[in-house]
Amino acid sequence: MAHPSRAQGWRGPRRYGRSPLIGQRWFLPPPIHVGGSSNPAATASIKLLRPPVKSHISNQLRLSFQLVSATVAGGDGRGLRGEEAVLEAILGGCEETEMDVKLAWREALGAPGAVVVKNHSDFPVYLKVLNCSAAAGLRVAVDFACNGWVYPVGKHPYRLFFTNDAYVKENTPRPLLGYREDELALLRGEGADERAFQECLSPFRSDSTTYATEPIPITSTTSCSYSYPHTETRVPLDQQIYVPCDERVGTDVIAAPSLPNLGSHFKSIAEIYSLIGLDDVGRLAKAKQVINSRAAAPKFPVPQVISAVNPMSWRRDEEFSRQMLAGTNPVCIKRVTKFPLTSDLDRTAYGDQDSKITEGHIEKNMSGITLQQALEDGRLFVVDHRDWVMPYLKRINELPGEEETGEISPRKAYAARTLLFLNNDSTLRPLAIELSSPHQDDEQLGSVTTVYTPPDTSDDILSANKFTAWDLAEAHATANDTSKNNFVIHWLNVHATMESLVIATNRQLSVLHPVHKLLKPHFRNTLHVNAVARQIIFGSGDRRKNDDIFRGIQEVTYLPSNGRSRNLDAIKKWVADYCAIYYVNDGAVTSDSELQAWWREVRHVGHGDLQDAHWWPAMDCLADLEEACTIIIWLGSAFHAAVGLGQYGYQGFVPNSPTLTSRPMPEAGAVVTEAEFLGSITPRNETLALMGMAAKSLARTGEVFLGQRPESELWTIEQRAAEALARFQERLQVVAGKIQRRNTDPTLKKRAGPVEVPYNMLTPTREPGPVSRGIPNSITN
């Protein structure tokens, strides 16, 4: 039954749970205002969203607004408030709604600096912006970029939003200082009470104090009483992980795809082509009907890696090598400086794990130069997953299968080393792949290792659509690479690392703080995405140090380091221009109390296990602030784009980028059938789930890209900051143009590789379609 419109202040039914803030109205003292109902009024235009609500809940919207002076204070030192204005309306759907309200304001109150908003409706609303036009009593227009949820007064008594100006705490107008402190304290929250999902608090939980090494990433809940140094406990899918309400942007719902059991492995590549609507692909025979399908197969976009000219080009060795740099994981390749390759694993625990690749394995494919000459010229590279995979292999290969059968899972993984050679045309070719598994009797006895090298007749094998042990070796090496990217580089090093920064920023920097305004766009939806991801995956602790991502390999023509350095330089210049507006010297940095509290929490709480590492900036000078903000923006935008945005383009076609392997390797040189190859990699159900999740990220709406701001004309009142952002946008356009010219340069023939997919993941501008192009501001996928 619909509820009637409620009188002002009535709290109504507690559909959203009781907040511990109820009764803590000391945050907002009794109003002191000037004048009466005859006050002149300014028209305020607001934009808001309403989440989906149950049919029995009233659509009656009732909000109250009260402007707060930034220049005229009462006896308690706080800014005087104008008369409360009420907005009432009937809302329809969940789309963005714009409406006007008259706000009373007298010239004697000076300039507004904040607005108090109370929600007397039966549902929460997401308030995006509030724009007050100039009118009698209000000399100039005032804008509030709110971007926050306002819950019914029975849940939260009020929300306080500030204008789009920015001040460090010490420079805050005195009438606003008390409001600033109270608002930050309200959002911070303290204690270990169980949180209601609609609360806006950002309590900090760190397990790093309970053990010395490898803490789990920081979570935003305080109600978890357990702590494991190596794992997180999976949250049941029917439960929610607490996320501060303002970190759930808009009304988007993120969910993992749900699929029926579609059987085991694919039997032919044509069957996979049928999933993306390709019934006749180039030189292939007409695709067969989907085998053993038990439900209508979904149709997906065609992954970029399937070339329109030759759909089997993904199998070529030069494409396999190119993806070590231009694919989804460009950060694991390193130059070889000594040979043979060695392991850093403890020999007392894992025995001899040094490489068994010899000169005899590789020199035949090195264009006539010797191993020593290749080392001296810096032409050998390695992607080495041996040391991080080997300690887990025994457990991975013994994981239980389906509970109802009690069988051992058909998993068979190996630890891979891939050795590559830099050709004269500045492209890479694989020389050897070394696959190892623990000794069957005892891990301390070392490993069982086989070295695979490319067949001499690879083109003939490709044209005949045959597969060999070499193809399977590449699949195993790629599965190692994909797993490292998905769970360590993408999830732990980006998503989890950014999480502690988001929480510390929400807790220690007021929304009025200039650094908060600088970083906030790069935190959009991060906690929400991470909470959902934790219900699907969980992993061990791993943190990334501030080192050179691409490790000295600038000679390769399709290397993304050119786009990397240009984007990074543009970000550095933008951060320097912005920070110079608010910090005139090093002393301004050290005297900023909120900034120093923020950095202490980032370092000593968010990353307490690494707090004594030598590479932390001391945050005692402007250069340290610029470096820290540059790294944070780069990590959440361009670096995340490099390791995350190509997932569907490359991993959407599982034969190109398997995520797991399930059969023992044959002897080197063996020939295998297409069905045997597919039976060794990711099965149907996992393939479709991965394709579904990756394809969803292509269709996400409302994404904001690097250099952009939502409601761009309203984000700041500071003209110098707006001009600095405009210069940043111009630099990014220059970067995009340079990348495009390199992609189309005929002298760089291998830039796009055999599959003809140019490297666009570090192109800052966006184009329509399922192309991995455009750098999102934040890690929203």
Out of 3.40.50.2300, 1.20.1740.10, 1.20.200.10, 2.60.60.20, which CATH number does the structure's domain 25-165 have?
2.60.60.20
Average pLDDT over residues 696-710: 73
Structure tokens at 30: 């009794």
Rounded to whole angstroms, how far apart are CA atoms 513 and 168? 5
- 559-588 CB burial, b ≥16 within 10 A, e <16: bbbbbbebbbebbbbbbbbbbebbbeeeeb
Instruction: Pick the more confident residue, 520 or 12.
Output: 520
Q: Write down the pTM of the prediction.
A: 0.82
Average pLDDT over residues 5-22: 36
> What is the average pLDDT value for the chain, to the nearest integer?
76
pLDDT of residue 55: 62
Say which CATH topology domain 316-454 has: Nuclear Transport Factor 2; Chain: A, (3.10.450)
Range in 185-194, 267-276, 401-410, 552-561 the model is least confident about: 552-561
Contact (CB, 8 A) for 102 and 43:
yes
Contact (CB, 8 A) for 187 and 200:
yes
Instruction: Pick the more confident residue, 457 or 204.
Output: 457
The residues near 70 (Cβ < 8 Å, ≥ 6 apart) are 79, 110, 111, 112, 113, 114, 163, 173, 175, 176
CATH 3.10.450.60 residue ranges for the chain: 316-454
Highest mean pLDDT among 53-67, 97-111, 332-346, 707-721: 332-346
- In the chain, the percentage of residues whose pLDDT exceeds 70 is 70
713, pLDDT greater than 80: no
131, pLDDT greater than 80: yes
Residue type, 704: V
> What Å distances lie between residue 265 and 333, 513, 670, CA to CA?
31, 54, 21
Range in 264-268, 289-293, 663-667 the model is least confident about: 289-293
Q: Which residues pair with 671 in a beta bridge?
A: 468
CATH 2.60.60.20 residue ranges for the chain: 25-165
Contact (CB, 8 A) for 140 and 61:
no
The residues near 38 (Cβ < 8 Å, ≥ 6 apart) are none
Q: What is the DSSP string of 20-85?
A: TTTT-GGGSPPP---S-TT--EEEEEEEEE-----TTS--EEEEEEEEEEEEEE-TTSSEEE---E
pLDDT grade for 566, boundaries at 50, 70 and 90: confident
